[in-house]
């Protein structure tokens, strides 16, 4: 983390000093040279023009030399050749204007694209430099990078957390929006996991550090964003390869243009002027920057809102998705059983739930935990059972306030010799048809039925609707759960296809088959879904794209953002190509002045950059265009 911070500070220093200084110095020398030339002639002004060339062209010269040493030709070389050609014709002023505008365009590009890098610096600044730690009975202030797992972190109200950890004492509300994007603070109580960079709002907390500074969620976010911004998407790699060939063609084309105009009877200086103007207007600056301006902005935007793209390739690929495959448990559903139905025979639902909970509080079964959570949610006080006995695979029995109690399956009650009335049997059939697990509650007779199921996430329905609105053609659910349970969930959400009772390898085979008909995104937790995630075109949550907040609503946002980025890239490329073709036509047809060619060329580059930066402002749920 310290090296990242140091590098960021160094980058900021370069941002402030170098790019802006070049066009500024070039402009100063040009103005002075122009004044001197007007007052005393061109000869005294020539050294000043040379200084303007040096100021405006040094950066381009270094970049061009580096490219040439690697066997490449880029737009920097084209600009330098054009400026040198103008100087050779005595057009020092126009050559200087070319270098001034080119260096100004580069500076604007550097500053503008640097805005997308601020996501990293902003994330770095979330972590406090120091932390208050309890050691040997004393509270001591230590550098945050010295925190180690096991340290007890003291976090006071309004302070940011310095490390990931688990709350061991105190209660509070934590603003997790800087990390997860959640707008509503979450409650923090003993046992709650908390993240570095989040804000403790009110109470004092003691947090046991669980991760080293370099392993925290915040550090992982920074690393992923850096990795994503460094990786070139396929379209950019194609453009870079095209740029090499194109730059050579421009140089050759300028030479051919010079010869052609000589053959047509033009004076050598006019022919040469047209040739160097062609070098300028045909240069692919705007084309080259069209993709990174959009991709970097989109990645930075997504990172601020809890979506991490691990590279531009995944951003571009997600825009093409027409099939989304979901795992069920923990993705579309909560992943924990919950009480969904309370059906008392005597009409007192709370009494039935309390009676069952009193016995289940001694059980360690997952279904018992669901019953206890339901009791707690309703504020029920549960009496302690006087005796308790678990019957493995069947249920539990005991005594509650002198009354025999039984909680378990239908077979358990039959084994206990208790009859199941006809209306209760009909209720059991309905619950099973709905994919729910019934729990029968009895004393000396059946007194009611509870139903437990893995409930659909509250946000799942909205996510499915949003994906439909985005034009996703197929929504598929894969699960190892029972078919009846899976079909109930799929029907409720309106999914196109449900595949149940699948092993992890079978999920992968289904995804491979779906890929034959389109681009597939797989959404899963990466545990038993790992094989399916591996074969998907885009894997969400744990592979190519990470949803930091475990919030499915970020899925349609990520797809919408990727499609908007694709649309902006296409806009940029079309605009850049149109401007280049227009300027080339004017050069041949009307003898476009070099200065006007420079303005048109560099102006198109700035427009492309600014258009890409629009992606920084896109927000979820704004209804912005998402299809292209």
The pLDDT tens digits for 214-262 are: 767 666 666 655 554 455 555 555 655 666 677 778 888 888 988 988 8
Answer whether residue 541 shows pLDDT above 50.
no
Tell whether the model's pLDDT for residue 441 goes beyond 80: yes
Q: Which helix (H) or strand (E) holds 498?
A: strand 497-499
Comparing 118-132, 315-329, 350-364, the range with the smallest average pLDDT is 118-132
Residue 619 pLDDT > 50: yes
Asked if residue 625 has pLDDT above 50, the reply is: no
| pLDDT score of 554 | 84
Span 310-328, average pLDDT: 83
Axis crossing angle, helix 2-40 with helix 42-69, rounded to the nearest 10: 150
Using the structure block, give the residue that is written with the tokens 């969904």. 340
Q: Which two tokens stand for residue 468?
A: 């439909």
The arithmetic mean of pLDDT across residues 81-96, rounded, is: 79
* Domains in the chain: boundaries: 2-121+225-300+562-617, 130-215, 334-456
CA nearest neighbour of 606 among 222, 373, 197, 293: 293
Please state, for a pLDDT cut of 70, what percent of the chain lies above it: 81
Burial level of 417, CB count in 10 A (0-12/13-18/19+)? exposed
Average pLDDT over residues 107-120: 56
Q: Is 279 in contact with 82 (CB distance < 8 Å)?
A: yes
Top pLDDT among 82 and 571 is at 571
Cβ burial 531-544 (10 Å sphere, 16+ → b, else e) = bbbebbbbbbbbbb
Q: What is the edge-to-edge ordering of all strands in the sheet holding 395-400?
A: 333-344, 446-456, 437-442, 403-408, 395-400, 387-391
Name the strand (E) or helix (H) holding 333.
strand 333-344
pLDDT at 237: 59
Taking residues 290-301, report their average pLDDT: 82
The one catalytic residue in 151, 164, 175, 327 is: 327
Which of the pair, 514 or 541, is modelled with greater confidence? 514
Select the highest-mean-pLDDT range: 277-286, 349-358, 474-483, 527-536. Answer: 349-358
Task: Report angle CA 379, 380, 381 to the nearest 5 degrees.
Answer: 120
CB 421 within 8 A of CB 431: no
Instruction: Render pLDDT for 21-73 as a digit per residue (tens, 0 to 9).
Output: 777 888 888 888 888 888 887 788 888 888 988 888 888 788 778 877 877 77
Mean pLDDT of 529-557: 64
**Which of 254-268, 282-296, 451-465, 543-557 has the least mean pLDDT?**
543-557
CA dihedral 619, 621, 623, 624 (to 10 degrees): 20
- Round to whole Å and give the CA distance between 220 and 164: 12
Average pLDDT over the chain, rounded to whole?
A: 79
CATH code: domain 130-215 is 2.70.150.10
Question: Is 327 noted as a catalytic residue in this protein?
Answer: yes
pLDDT tens for 117-149 read 554 555 566 677 788 898 887 888 888 888 888
Using CA atoms, how far residue 333 sits from 148, 181, 480, 575, in Å, is 35, 21, 13, 45
Q: What is the mean pLDDT of residues 554-567?
A: 90
**CB-CB contact of 116 with 289 (8 Å):** no
Closest CA to 368 of 396, 403, 399: 396
Residue 172: closest CA among 206, 121, 129: 206
Q: Is pLDDT of 18 > 70?
A: no
**What is the pLDDT, as a whole number, of residue 606?**
82
pLDDT above 90 (res 442): yes
**Confidence grade of residue 467 (pLDDT, cut at 50, 70, 90):** very high
Angle made by CA atoms 69, 72, 75, in degrees to the nearest 5: 115
For the segment 324-334, what is each residue's pLDDT rounded down to a tens digit? 988 877 778 87
**Residue 47 CB coordination number (10 Å):** 12
- Supply the pLDDT for residue 628: 38
Tokens found for residue 285: 């600056």
* Segment 329-344 mean pLDDT: 83
pLDDT on residue 183: 41
Residue 485: pLDDT over 90: no
517 in helix, strand or coil?
coil
- The answer to whether the beta carbons of residues 522 and 533 sit under 8 Å apart is yes
Q: Quote the CA–CA distance of 127 and 533 in Å, as a whole number.
A: 32
Residue in the structure block whose two tokens are 């006071």: 156
Q: What is the mean pLDDT of residues 399-416?
A: 90
* Neighbouring residues of 131: CB distance < 8 A, sequence distance ≥ 6: 141, 142, 143, 144, 147, 153, 162, 163
Q: What is the pLDDT of residue 245?
A: 74
Integer Cα distance of 509 and 530 in angstroms:
12
161-202 pLDDT per residue, tens: 888 889 999 888 787 766 654 444 677 889 888 888 888 877
Q: How confident is the model at residue 542 (pLDDT cuts 50, 70, 90)?
A: very low
Q: Look at the alpha carbons of 344, 350, 353, 359 in this order and tell me if their dihedral is positive or negative.
A: negative
How much is the pLDDT for 11? 43
CA dihedral for 49, 54, 59, 60, sign (positive or negative):
positive
227 vs 121: CA distance, rounded Å: 14
Higher pLDDT, 465 or 145: 465
CATH number of this structure's domain 334-456 = 3.40.1110.10
For the residues 367-379, what does the mean pLDDT come to?
89
β 497-499/474-478 pair status: parallel
- With b meaning 16 or more CB within 10 Å and e meaning fewer, what string describes 89-126? bebbbbbbbbbbbbbbbbbbbbebbbebbebbbebbeb
According to the model, what pLDDT value does residue 600 have?
85
Asked if the model's pLDDT at residue 20 lies above 70, the reply is no
pLDDT at 372: 92
Asked whether residue 407 carries a pLDDT value surpassing 90, the answer given is yes
Q: Is the pTM of this model over 0.85?
A: no
Q: Per-residue pLDDT for 582 more than 90?
A: yes
**Of 405, 407, 421, the residue nearest 452 (C-alpha):** 407
Residue 23 CB-half CA count within 13 A? 15
Decide: helix, strand or coil at residue 393: coil
The reply to whether domains 130-215 and 334-456 share a CATH topology is no
Q: Is the pLDDT of residue 580 over 60?
A: yes
pLDDT at 623 over 80: no
């Amino acid at each position: 983390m310290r090296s990242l911070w140091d590098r960021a500070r160094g980058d900021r220093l370069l941002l402030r000093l170098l790019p802006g200084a070049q066009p500024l110095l070039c402009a100063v020398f040009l103005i002075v040279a122009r004044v001197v030339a007007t007052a005393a002639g061109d000869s005294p002004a020539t050294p000043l023009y040379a200084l303007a060339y040096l100021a405006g062209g040094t950066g381009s010269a270094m970049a061009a030399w580096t490219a040439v040493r690697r066997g490449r030709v880029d737009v920097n070389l084209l600009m330098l050749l054009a400026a040198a050609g103008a100087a050779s014709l005595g057009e020092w002023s126009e050559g200087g204007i070319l270098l001034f505008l080119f260096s100004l365009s580069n500076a604007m590009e550097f500053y503008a694209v640097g805005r997308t890098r601020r996501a990293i610096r902003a994330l770095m600044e979330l972590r406090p430099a120091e932390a208050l730690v309890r050691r040997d009975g004393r509270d001591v202030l230590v550098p945050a990078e010295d925190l180690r797992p096991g340290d007890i972190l003291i976090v006071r109200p309004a302070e940011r957390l310095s490390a990931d950890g688990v709350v061991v004492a105190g209660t509070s509300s934590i603003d997790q929006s800087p990390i997860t994007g959640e707008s509503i603070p979450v409650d923090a109580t003993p046992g709650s996991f908390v993240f570095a960079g989040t804000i403790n709002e009110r109470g004092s907390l003691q947090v046991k550090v669980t991760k080293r500074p370099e392993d925290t969620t915040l550090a992982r976010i920074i690393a992923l964003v850096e990795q994503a911004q460094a990786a070139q998407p396929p379209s950019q790699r194609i453009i870079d390869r095209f740029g090499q060939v194109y730059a050579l063609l421009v140089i050759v084309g300028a030479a051919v243009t010079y010869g052609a105009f000589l053959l047509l009877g033009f004076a050598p200086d006019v022919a040469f002027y047209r040739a160097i103007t062609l070098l300028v207007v045909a240069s692919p600056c705007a084309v080259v920057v069209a993709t990174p301006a959009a991709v970097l902005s989109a990645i930075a935007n997504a990172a601020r809102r809890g979506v991490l793209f691990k590279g531009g390739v995944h951003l571009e690929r997600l825009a093409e998705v027409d099939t989304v495959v979901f795992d069920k448990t923990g993705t579309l559903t909560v992943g924990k059983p919950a009480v969904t139905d309370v059906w008392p025979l005597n009409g007192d639902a709370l009494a039935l739930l309390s009676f069952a909970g009193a016995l289940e509080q001694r059980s360690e079964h997952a279904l018992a935990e669901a019953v206890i959570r339901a009791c707690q949610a309703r504020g029920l006080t549960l009496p302690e059972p006087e005796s308790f006995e678990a019957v493995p695979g069947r249920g539990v029995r005991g005594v509650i306030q002198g009354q025999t109690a039984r909680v378990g399956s239908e077979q358990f009650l039959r084994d206990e010799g208790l009859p199941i009335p006809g209306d209760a049997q009909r209720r059991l059939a309905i619950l099973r048809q709905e994919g729910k697990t019934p729990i029968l509650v009895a004393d000396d007779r059946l007194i009611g039925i509870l139903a437990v199921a893995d409930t659909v996430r509250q946000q799942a329905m909205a996510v499915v609707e949003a994906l439909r609105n985005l034009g996703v053609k197929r929504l598929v659910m894969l699960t190892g759960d029972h078919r009846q349970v899976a079909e109930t969930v799929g029907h409720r959400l309106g999914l196109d296809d449900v595949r149940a009772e699948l092993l992890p390898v079978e999920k992968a085979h289904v995804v491979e088959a779906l890929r034959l008909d389109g681009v597939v995104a797989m959404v899963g937790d990466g545990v038993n879904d790992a094989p399916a995630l591996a074969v998907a075109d885009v894997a969400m949550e744990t592979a190519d794209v990470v949803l930091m907040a475990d919030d499915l609503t970020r899925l349609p946002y990520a797809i919408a953002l990727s499609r908007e980025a694709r649309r902006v890239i296409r806009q940029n490329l079309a605009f850049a190509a149109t401007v280049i073709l227009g300027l080339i036509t004017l050069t041949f047809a009307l003898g476009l002045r070099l200065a006007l060619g420079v303005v048109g060329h560099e102006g198109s580059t700035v427009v492309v950059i600014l258009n890409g930066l629009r992606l920084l402002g896109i927000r979820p749920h704004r209804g912005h265009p998402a299809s292209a």
